[in-house]
Amino acid sequence: MSIIQAIILAIVEGLTEFLPVSSTAHMKFTNPIIGVTSTPFSDMFEIVIQLAAILAVVVVYYRKFFDFSRLSFYVKLVIAVIPALVFGALLKKHIDAVLDNLYIIACIMIGGGVVLLFIDRVFTKATIDDEKQVSNLAAFKIGCFQVLSILLPGLSRSASTIIGGMSQKMTRKAAAEFSFFLAVPTMLAASAKSFWDLHKEHPDALTKDNFTILGISCVITFIVAIIVIRYFIDFLKKHGFKVWGYYRIVIGLVMLFLLWRGIL
């Protein structure tokens, strides 16, 4: 992976991590377009730069993340992340197989887009506008929705957890923010495991050049993600999910066409 390829992927990740469009799908689609082939390092790279994007949440919401007087906040995050940790460990082979199939990811993109076209009509009686009102049971249920994005790569972790929050009577704003918060322990665990697996199985991939590429990419992803976070909440409050549904369907259809024609 060259530095230019890494920078492109970093920008793509930063732009898409918090949008309900699946950053994983976008990176998987971008790889063949820019000539990146799957290697142990590139697979780890895709996960770790997601963590860089997620850390932007800690900066934007630093007052909440470092308010240690609110123990319940951390308890809810731990409860909500448990389903993803369990199913992620149990279904690793299934997940890896799906991630290698761009046809499946494209179809999931389209299916998820169709869902987003109608989701605003389904949840219309929101009563919770703050994370403090979320019960531990509701947090666990939201965590179960996150499992869907693990089982179906391309569905979007962000979309799954935001919809999970809305199913618990959270407003779009509150659901989106809780989705951001939940991403922190989720991606921290995923990145730590991915880095450890690479260190254990392919230590020769951890070269100085690769560390440099990863470091530069993480910084770029982090900066882009901060910008996206600041604008996404307001956009979601005003416009809902429909525009992202149309976007997903178009991107999914384009990718299916390119795959069918053998261009990718």
pLDDT tens-digit series, residues 162-184: 999 999 999 988 998 899 889 88
Kindly report the number of other CB atoms within 10 A of residue 5's CB atom: 18
pLDDT value at 199 more than 80: no
Residues with Cβ within 8 Å of residue 220, at least 6 apart in sequence: 7, 10, 11, 14
* pLDDT confidence band for 30 (50 / 70 / 90): very high
Name the amino acid, one letter, at 131: E
pLDDT tens-digit series, residues 88-137: 777 777 677 777 789 999 999 999 999 999 988 888 787 888 888 899 99
pLDDT tens-digit series, residues 51-76: 888 888 889 888 888 888 888 889 99
Q: Could you tell me the residue ranges of all domains in the chain? A: 3-260
Average pLDDT, the chain: 88
The share of the chain scoring above pLDDT 90, in percent, equals 38
Phi, psi dihedral angles at 21 (to 5 degrees): -125, 0
In this prediction the pTM is: 0.88
Spacing of C-alpha 187 from chain mean position: 8
Rounded to whole angstroms, the Cα distance separating 258 from 264 reads 6
Query: Measuring CA to CA, how many Å separate 205 from each of 50, 81, 169, 213?
Result: 19, 30, 46, 12
Contact 94, 104 (CB under 8 A): no
pLDDT value at 224 more than 90: yes
Rounded to whole angstroms, the Cα distance separating 35 from 9 reads 11
Of the CA atoms within 13 Å of residue 81, those in its CB half-sphere come to: 18
